[in-house]
Structure formats: C-alpha cells, structure tokens
Amino acid sequence: MAQAIPRTTIGPSRGVIARIRERHGLGAAIQFIAHWLVNRVLFFDWLHIIALERDSVRPFDSKLSRHVRSRFANRTDLLAMQATPELDIDDAKLELFDRGDECLLSYVDDRLAGYTWIHPQGEPELIPGLVISIPHDYLYNYSGLTVPEHRGLGLQPYRHHLVLDSNRWGVRRGLIGFVLHTNFASRAGQGKSGYRNIGSIWVVGSRNHFLAVFSRSLRRRAIRRIQ
C-alpha cells in the first residue's frame, strides 16, 4: 500500500528534481521540494481521494478477450508470486489477504500479466495509523500492477470491470482509492483510468500521532477517520 514519505534530513538529489520538472513541470518540482522541507520539521502529507464510477471505466478491447483471462488469487498463488520480487507481494499483502482482502489476477496467453487488490470491508488503512470508512456501495481499490511487457493493452480497466461485475460483494457503484500529492505520475494517470478527485485528507503531526483533516466533500460522503 502507498506509504507517506518519511521525515529525512537527506535532501532530494538534483537528478530527481530535474526529472520531476521535466516530466511534470516547475510547479511539481517546487511542491516536491516544499514537501521535503516541511517534513524535516514535522510529518505532513496530502492525500487525494479518488473515485471511479462504474460508467466511467474505460472499455476493454474485445479483440483481446480470447487471449486474456482472470481469476481471484488464493494464498498458494501469492506465496508463489513472492519468488518474483518485481511482483511486489510482501508479507504485508499476505496479511491483508488473510484479513479478507482480495487480489484479482489477469493472464495473457496463460502468462501472469498483472493484478488488482481490493479491500471489500469498507474500512481501509490508507497509511499506517489512518483507517477510514468508505460508503458501503464502493470498494477500496489499491496496489494495481501490470507487468511491463503487457502494458498498453488496457488490462487495468479490464480488471476494474471484472471487479465491479463480480457477484462476490453484490452490485457496487464504483471504486475508491487515493494518491499522494507528490506522486505526480499517478495523479496524471488517474484521469486516464477514469478516476476523478472527490476530496482531500491532510495529515500533520508525527508519524505515530497525527491529526487528519477531511475536506467537506468527503465528510458529505460519510468518509471519515476510524480511531
């Protein structure tokens, strides 16, 4: 799951800042530097809460249907995937699976092409210590991956369709997730996936004890912190 950037006295390298400026503009580079400076003094992060409505999921190319199949993972699958570090299946994900989270696997020509993780219980932990409630007619979507050789095929929306059409949880209106404000690549990509920003959570304090402030738009949706 996405983690907040820890406090550190080691500044970002010029190369990192230059890449951010080149790819996302001067404003993004300034935001990144400001975030690092603030976190030298206290823990601060800004979480963009995003939602993907059922009718906003990008269509899947039907021509690929004969090559692609998907199924929900079992624990044996996840243990086998741990042998490939690039798949990023750590012990934390296994613990989440044991607590009821689900992982949808997709295959292209019988080769693993990626996955999408879903938390169906309605009380996801976004960052350590920040558990929130989400509306009962949404699922929490996190930690999606498509292996490099299969990117560009539209497998992420394909998995989104399958998750929302699954009868495991009944009919759901859509998916909810989040992206950190300094994750500029994900912020740029969320629109292409059909996600839209529905509000913000600001956290400030220390990594163990922090205040979480929810925007009014989230409070109207009954999205709140669970202590």
Give, in order, the Cα–Cα distances in Å from 139 to each of 57, 111, 172, 197, 208: 14, 27, 7, 16, 27
Tell me, what's the pLDDT at 2?
40
Handedness of CA 84, 89, 95, 99 (dihedral sign): negative
What distance in Å separates the CA atoms of residue 88 and residue 2, rounded to the nearest whole number?
12
- The pLDDT-based confidence of 11 (bands split at 50, 70, 90) is low
Q: What percent of the chain lies above the pLDDT cut of 70? A: 93
- The rounded radius of gyration (Å) of the Cα atoms in the chain is 18
192 DSSP assignment: H
Mean pLDDT: which of 53-62, 99-108, 170-179 is highest? 99-108
For each of the domains in the chain, give its residue range(s) and CATH number, in order of start: 14-226 (3.40.630.30)
Output the average pLDDT for the chain: 88
pTM summary value: 0.85
Beta strands at 174-180 and 43-53: parallel, antiparallel or unpaired: antiparallel
Mean pLDDT value across residues 161-183: 90
